[in-house]
Chains A and B, each alone.
Chain A
Amino acid sequence: MHVCGSHEWTITHFGIRTLLPLNVEVRAGPGCPVCVTPAADIDSVTRLSLQGKTILTYGDMSRAKGSDMSLFEAKAAGGEVQVVYSVHDAVQIAESNPQREFVFFAVGFETTAPPTAYEIIKGPPRNLTFLVSYRYVPPAVGVVASSPELAVDGFINAGHAATITGMKAYQPYFEKTPKPMAFAGFEPIDILISVTMLLKQIVDNEPKMENEYTRAVTWEGNVRAQETMDKVFERVDGYWRGVATIPESGFRIREEFVDSDARVRYGLKETPGAEQFVPEARCGEVILGKIDPPECPLYMKACTPASPKGPTMVSAEGTCKIWAEHKVLAAMRCRT
């Protein structure tokens, strides 16, 4: 199993599943940040936008529905929403519009969290706060690894998230449930090499933490980025939409930077745990890698990239969207 939407894109785009022997299967796990962002958080930002705050966020995030609507739908209903490329853009927009209130909807994994931490330390303008919904990948890999139902034999770990944390962040989870791991880059060759690494570990019955993406991933990771991130955020329980609440996988702004916390400034209540996919949609099982997209009754029927019903069909990193864009219409598993 891999846990990164960009890996899914490479695997599907280059037809890697069709190159592998029939008894080798690569499944997509929970690697799409937009897909796992809790509906409750999307509800909070859509409400804020309808109350006149301008929500700044990444393009994909604005199309994912909460329990009721997406940010774009809130915009159509009169809310304020603006798409940005980076958190730095958000700071600049807020600085040049001091009369308006802005909320940066901070979603993503540990790859995206350090730049936001950097801007919060630097001191963003008063009219900009952050609704932080970041998720930390290593504990999620731990949860998936220990699931008897998923029965994953090995992990292609997310290369860019690991450039920040280093391989060491995965060690506690590996020690608890030793399953083969390969930290992989994003070229087709990287995937093939990492699959080979995993197969060798499985055949030799020697699970280890192996590094394929040696040009970017190290054992220690980017220490400066880790320190920046840890200075601003503390690790808390995090709910992954469709998956579970995973200990130590969420981020909360520390007391010292509370002025930048949208949850505090606007008194937002946390309501985790609510499951809000549309009826019959099997997004949660797709996110976990329990099923392939074509096994969902809505896939390419009621739910298409032009008219997505669930987050996995919205995001460029969602398995359904990637499969749909590559016209994959049948499940690709070799065992059930």
Chain B
Amino acid sequence: MCLAYPGKVIAIEGDFARVDFGEGTIRDGVNVSLVAAQIGNYVLVHAGYAIQLVNQAEALKTLKYWREILESLPGDRASYEREVRGGLT
């Protein structure tokens, strides 16, 4: 029920935005009235409504921890990277 996916706002008209969820998935009609979203922002979308802006700097920090863990693992790093293709959600 509390599933939410991050996506990038690529257009806004009134209360609604077009959001790019990556890998070819673009959705129109995402309601952004509950957040102060601007074009280029990443938003967390839950059941058709953006519920929060994603803080990109913090997301990159978490990705950095992830890479550090990958680097400390033995074996083929590329296969781990494939596993997490698409990055953090």
Binary interface encoding of chain B residues 69-89 relative to chain A, with 1 for a CB under 8 A from any of its CBs, else 0:
100000000000000000011
Contacts of A112 in B (CB 8 A): 1-2, 46-47
Q: Given the known A-B contacts A189-B62, A214-B58, A215-B58, are A60 and B1 also in contact in the complex, defined by CB atoms under 8 Å?
A: yes
How far, in Å, is B8 (CB) from chain A's closest CB? 14
Neighbour of A118 across the interface among B3, B34, B56, B58, CB < 8 A: B34
Question: Cβ of A115 and Cβ of B34 under 8 Å apart?
Answer: yes
B55 at the interface (CB under 8 A from A): yes
Alpha-carbon separation in the docked complex, A158 to B31 (Å) = 23
Alpha-carbon separation in the docked complex, A214 to B36 (Å) = 18
A260 at the interface (CB under 8 A from B): no
Question: Cβ of B66 and Cβ of A222 under 8 Å apart?
Answer: no
Q: List 23 A-B contacts (CB under 8 A).
A: A5-B2, A58-B47, A86-B49, A88-B29, A88-B31, A89-B48, A107-B1, A111-B2, A112-B1, A115-B47, A158-B2, A160-B2, A163-B44, A163-B51, A187-B89, A189-B62, A189-B65, A215-B88, A216-B52, A216-B55, A224-B34, A225-B35, A317-B2
Binary interface encoding of chain A residues 105-137 relative to chain B, with 1 for a CB under 8 A from any of its CBs, else 0:
001110110110010000000000000000000
Binary interface encoding of chain A residues 1-36 relative to chain B, with 1 for a CB under 8 A from any of its CBs, else 0:
000111000000000000000000000000011100
Neighbour of B2 across the interface among A4, A85, A187, A190, CB < 8 A: A4
How far, in Å, is A123 (CB) from chain B's closest CB? 14
Which residues of A are at the interface with B, using a C-beta cutoff of 8 A? 4-6, 32-34, 58, 60, 85-89, 107-109, 111-112, 114-115, 118, 158, 160-161, 163-164, 185-187, 189-190, 193, 214-216, 222, 224-225, 228, 315, 317
Contacts of A160 in B (CB 8 A): 2-4, 44, 46, 51
Neighbour of B88 across the interface among A5, A86, A107, A187, CB < 8 A: A187
How far, in Å, is A140 (CB) from chain B's closest CB? 14
Alpha-carbon separation in the docked complex, A86 to B29 (Å) = 11
Neighbour of A222 across the interface among B35, B61, B88, CB < 8 A: B35
Question: Cβ of B46 and Cβ of A224 under 8 Å apart?
Answer: no
CB interface residues, B 7-59, toward A, < 8 Å: 29, 31, 33-36, 44, 46-49, 51-52, 54-56, 58-59
Contacts of B62 in A (CB 8 A): 185, 187, 189-190, 193, 214-215
Alpha-carbon separation in the docked complex, A158 to B4 (Å) = 12
Question: Cβ of B51 and Cβ of A222 under 8 Å apart?
Answer: yes
